[in-house]
Structure 1
Amino acid sequence: MTHRLRRSAALLAALAAAPLSATTTASAAPAEEARVLTGALADGAAYRLEVPPAWNGTVVLYSHGLRFPGEDNPPETAASDASRQWMLDNGYALAGSSYAGTGWAVEEAVDDQLGTLDAFTARVGAPTRTIALGESLGGLVTTALVERHPERFDGGLSLCGLHAGGPALWDSYLDGAYVLRTLLPESGAVRITGVDDPLGNLDAAQRILSDAAATAAGRARIALAAAVMQVPGAVDPLAPFPADAAGRAAARLAWMTESFPVFAFAERGELEARAGGNPSTNVGVDYERMLRDSEQRSDVRALYRAAGLDLDDDLATLAAAPRVAADPVARTYLSAHGGLTNAPAKPLLTLHGTADGLVPSSHERAYAERAGRPELLRQAFVDRPGHCTFTSAEIVSAFGALQERLDSGVWHVKPAFLNQRAAELGPELNTGAGIPVAPAFVRHHPLAFPRA
């Protein structure tokens, strides 16, 4: 991976979980170190098993998020150092694999995670309870594991998962890229599908977006693209939500110029290569209706007025522009390796941020509206900007709620209860980048997902 994509990936990580989860540590060390076992699966994926001295019989299988091609790809066993240590200190064994591939590696991940469980049984022993846990792309993998292999799992905790499914996610990314490519000057040099040079395409997109962000007209059109994707008006997980239109516009601009291009204009190339073509479509999409249904429509109209642009003219341009059809083979691949049945056969708890610009909380509503067994599903939300920006205390609190559901058959996921439980875990787990962060579980009603 070149320096530019490394820099983009690092920026994405800075906007995501690292400030609130990965840098935290636990204060209480176990009396005896956990036993660590490593190895490799038949396809080359590495795995890691961690077993505490007083193992309680439960193993937690952790599925990590997307890693870009060329990025380091070690196995991981937890979403953060502090949540990992808490689980080991409380008797939980941990397991996880690297997956045999990077990028949209759902196909490899499902098989490799099951293989890691087989390795755990062979080297440690059969667990009495198995929990799937993962974040972002790993959240999608977690839900897929619970849906497809209920005989192997007792329950799942999915963090910031892609629960509208892979086809819907990439259709939405296509919407944003399509609006930008259609309306921004000089954007014809950027490919929104058929990406055969991901790094070159990303370079071109970032230059065009940087130029556009420097003008009122460009900022207005970027805001329109953000609106059809439901990009939130907040981005900094350690700052208050912006209270004014200018602050919301600046946050959406940051999402669209810093994080979004890495996926829409670079990672799409990796996805297309493994899928055998373009899996996304916007045939029949009415962007005027999508804006009309968006809570951002007044902000977009204000930016258009300030730029002296006619929004209706741009909407007419979008309506008249040629649409993009999906390659049927590629669409089938993405549906098979990224689609969900929405019917978990074991208890599933999802945790999502209210202001996630990469995977908006409407993904959870899309999943809930199609849930085949709603009594097995509960959804919790944290009121904080960013993608996967949970504190270790919030992760542990949600994990505890899932364990109680498995033990008693009753869900205890009211925000006040979860906030109290997280606060009681102490300051070491309630931090981000060394700064105290209060638990932020909240009642939240996501918007409808913009795509059917």
Structure 2
Amino acid sequence: MVAIGLTAAAPAAFAKGPAPAGAPGGDAGFDMAAEAAPSPAACPTGVGEGASCLSGKDSAGALYMIVMPRQWNGDLVVHAHGGPFLGAPTMKRVTEDVERWTIMPRLGYAFAASSYRQGGVAVSAAAQDNERLRRLFIAKVAKPRHVYLHGQSWGASVAAKGAELFAEGKPYDAVLLTSGVLGGGTRSYDFRLDLRVVYQYLCRNHPLPSEPQYPLNIGLPLDSTMKQADLAKRVDECLGLNKPASERTPEQAAKVKTIVDVIHIPERSIQSHLNWATWHFQDIAFKRTGGASPFGNVGAVYAGSSDDAALNAGVARYAADAKAVATLSADADLGGKIPVPVLTVHAIHDPTAMVELQESFGRTMTAAGRGDALVQTFTGDKDHSYLSDPTYAALMEALTGWVTQGRKPTPASIAAGCEKAKATLGSTCRFEPDYQVKPLESRVVKRDRP
């Protein structure tokens, strides 16, 4: 077991060795004897005075970091990061996540974050990597009283999937999902195909007429050398996104308005969603689903432009490949059978993961008979990656009370907890307890599916 410099305030029972045989989690193909112990590491900034950090590389190739606060409360937060990033795993990515979520160790929780073994849209594999890290923490570092699984953005899908995959024995005591992409892999990205076809109808430069043509639902041909800077240049030529609105041509302004009104995304996120609809779609088609695309827009009727009839007649149409849909669904769709409390938060004006994805997730949990285990909260924020320290402090306090005392929180009680936390943490509280999320179909047009 690694020495981590816990103070006397950390109960001795928390510094024991591996969980006994038969404990929650079991073996299930994870051989902790094959895992090297983590090594002491320099802590990123902001994790709290006196904190100790450990890092390592697990047997699957994932890099990870563990933060032990000086005054450990005995509980562990396993963090599932968003993205996904498409490159090879790096410690830089892990460090950035630790720095973003320093609120967790500052509140007294041990915090463990994995890079995952690979980049790209691989949900189940990432969930396995998080579970391996949980077991590694218990075997090599300390035995926590409770383990909370936290997923942010795309990582919320990873966390929800992991809570389903590893439901036996309830190795996680509760789940916190923040700004989550929770509509399932086969439905969460429909609007990005819509963006690609509408953008191409308007701009005709991705691809250019002089370039080889390809089905837009694969994102990009595998042998393409296009870079994000190349796409950004084309988008700026067509839409003028890098200019103040007052400096755009009337034609550019009209095209931007069409995209915003038809796709229902804010102007500030057009470029990023086009990037994801290019390289993430390429990753899915060529690394996950055998070269075919699980995304289609046959039957989709677009509305909101100055000439919807011309738009619907002019956009490219693609049918989703049934086998690709089944493959992606098995990896990335959610079943809702999470056996422990689940708490979510989502900014109503999130520019990256539309808030209506929460409605889809609520339906999934209810259909699985687990609707009573879900509490969803919403804030008036316009951000995605991080809301505020008191927001997450209130959520963790509510989740801990639910687990340890059976006190199920409400959106109103969490909002009140945020105001209480703000007194010491500062920053903002923007919970809207009465907000009712609309159906996902109110924002993303329906389409035919295999």
TM over 0.5: yes
Residues 89, 117 of structure 2: 8 Å contact kept: no
1:50 to 52, 62, 67: 67
Deviation of 1:365 (Å) = 0.5
Ranked by relative contact order (alpha carbons within 8 Å, sequence separation 6 or more), the top structure is: 1
User: Who is 1:285 aligned against?
Assistant: 299
Deviation of 1:212 (Å) = 2.5
User: Who is 1:177 aligned against?
Assistant: 196
Larger radius of gyration: 2
The count of residues paired between Structure 1 and Structure 2 equals: 377
Residue 403 to residue 451, structure 1, CA distance change in 2 (3 Å): farther
**In proportion to residue count, which structure has more helix?**
1
Structure-to-structure mapping, 1:41-440, within 5 angstroms: 41-70=58-87, 73-74=90-91, 76=94, 81=99, 84=102, 86-150=103-167, 151-189=170-208, 192-194=216-218, 195=220, 196=222, 200=226, 202-203=228-229, 205-213=231-239, 214-231=248-265, 252-256=266-270, 258-275=271-288, 276-288=290-302, 291=303, 297=304, 300=305, 304=306, 310-318=307-315, 321=316, 323-371=317-365, 372=368, 373-415=370-412, 417-426=413-422, 429-431=425-427, 438-440=428-430
Residue 131 to residue 211, structure 1, CA distance change in 2 (3 Å): same
Residue 439 to residue 182, structure 1, CA distance change in 2 (3 Å): same
In structure 1, distance between residues paired with 2:278 and 2:52: 42
Bigger shift: residues 166-175 or 53-62:
53-62
In structure 2, distance between residues paired with 1:81 and 1:420: 27
Residue 176 to residue 90, structure 1, CA distance change in 2 (3 Å): closer
Deviation of 1:360 (Å) = 0.3
Write the letter of the residue equivalent to 1:58.
D
In structure 1, distance between residues paired with 2:224 and 2:354: 24
- Secondary structure, aligned partner of 1:346: coil
- Secondary structure, aligned partner of 1:379: strand
Map Cα deviations across residues 381-431 of structure 1 (whole Å, 9 max, x no partner).
11111323411221121111111111232322324x434422333477444
Write the letter of the residue equivalent to 1:356.
D
1:34 to 29, 51, 55: 51
Write the letter of the residue equivalent to 1:184.
C
Write the letter of the residue equivalent to 1:446.
V
- Secondary structure, aligned partner of 2:348: strand
In structure 2, distance between residues paired with 1:170 and 1:278: 15
- Secondary structure, aligned partner of 1:193: helix
- Secondary structure, aligned partner of 1:157: strand
Q: Percent identity?
A: 22
Any unmatched runs of 5+ in structure 2? Answer: 1-43, 240-247
Write the letter of the residue equivalent to 1:279.
S
Map Cα deviations across residues 139-194 of structure 1 (whole Å, 9 max, x no partner).
11111122221222111001111111111122221111111113334444275233
User: Root-mean-square deviation (CA), in Å?
Assistant: 2.9
Write the letter of the residue equivalent to 2:139.
A
User: Who is 1:13 aligned against?
Assistant: none
Residue 216 to residue 165, structure 1, CA distance change in 2 (3 Å): farther
Deviation of 1:198 (Å) = 6.0
Residue 378 to residue 188, structure 1, CA distance change in 2 (3 Å): same
In structure 1, distance between residues paired with 2:358 and 2:130: 24
Map Cα deviations across residues 307-352 of structure 1 (whole Å, 9 max, x no partner).
xxx343223334xx4x212334432332122211123221111111
Residues 301, 445 of structure 2: 8 Å contact kept: no
- Secondary structure, aligned partner of 2:325: helix
Residue 47 to residue 80, structure 1, CA distance change in 2 (3 Å): closer
